Amino acid sequence: MLPVLPKREVEQPSFAPLRETYFHAKPPKEDAKAQRIRLGHYQFALRRIEIISRGIISTRLIAETLMLEQFKSYFDRMAERLSSSRTVRRGPVFTIFHNPNALKLSWVGSKDRGEVVVAWQDTVSVEAFKRDLYAVDLICITFHLRNKKVVEIDEEMDGWESLMTSLPEYLPGCQTFGEWYTDVAVPAFKTNLTVIYRRD
């Protein structure tokens, strides 16, 4: 029979000092001056970040606002020009007839038609000018008559070119097309009203 040996108590290793060192260690204490310096640096950095952020946001908002306004203005202008040009195309069709005695302007539209006659002997003055139709400029001429009536024609009407060639013959002293055209056409988008004939 084997002898019974007395129980020996084995001492277990303690990890308490390690836990206290690595998990519950407290940072070293700073004096008041070091704390103020560290806090000042921190606040200064935050302030710089805030200022830079506000500047970036403000600059971006201003740029976006200006760009949107410019684009909006540009597209509004283009829409007006396109609308105006379409309106001109859908209007009545005008035709100019002329001879040494008079000019006859006739028109045919979707709802009406008509004509007007301008006798050269009743013409007091003739003015050339330009209309701004947004998409293009339109060269026009107005005939001022003795009865105070005014008749207007423009370069889009059939018969315009032949009338411009013959007008100085019908009205002696009237400027030729080549003499007044540049004064009216330049600069663009300006009325440039020019008297090309006046009866003495």
Residue-wise pLDDT for 85-102, tens only, equals 544 455 789 999 999 999
pLDDT in tens, 117-150: 999 999 999 999 999 888 788 999 999 999 999 9
Helix, coil or strand: residue 83: helix
Q: Model's pTM, two decimal places? A: 0.55
DSSP E strand stretches across the chain? 93-98, 102-108, 113-119, 123-132, 137-145, 150-154, 194-198
Give long-range contacts, CB 8 A cutoff, 24+ apart: 38-44: none
- What's 158's DSSP letter? B
pLDDT in tens, 143-198: 999 999 999 999 999 999 999 999 999 999 999 999 999 999 888 888 999 999 99
* 153 closest CA partner among 126, 181, 120, 174: 126
Q: With bands split at pLDDT 50, 70 and 90, how would you rate the model's confidence at 108?
A: very high
194-198/102-108 β-pairing: unpaired
Cα–Cα distance measured from residue 193 to residue 200, given in angstroms and rounded to the nearest whole number = 20
Q: What is the pLDDT of residue 136?
A: 82
Greater pLDDT, 30 or 15:
30
Q: What is the pLDDT of residue 23?
A: 47
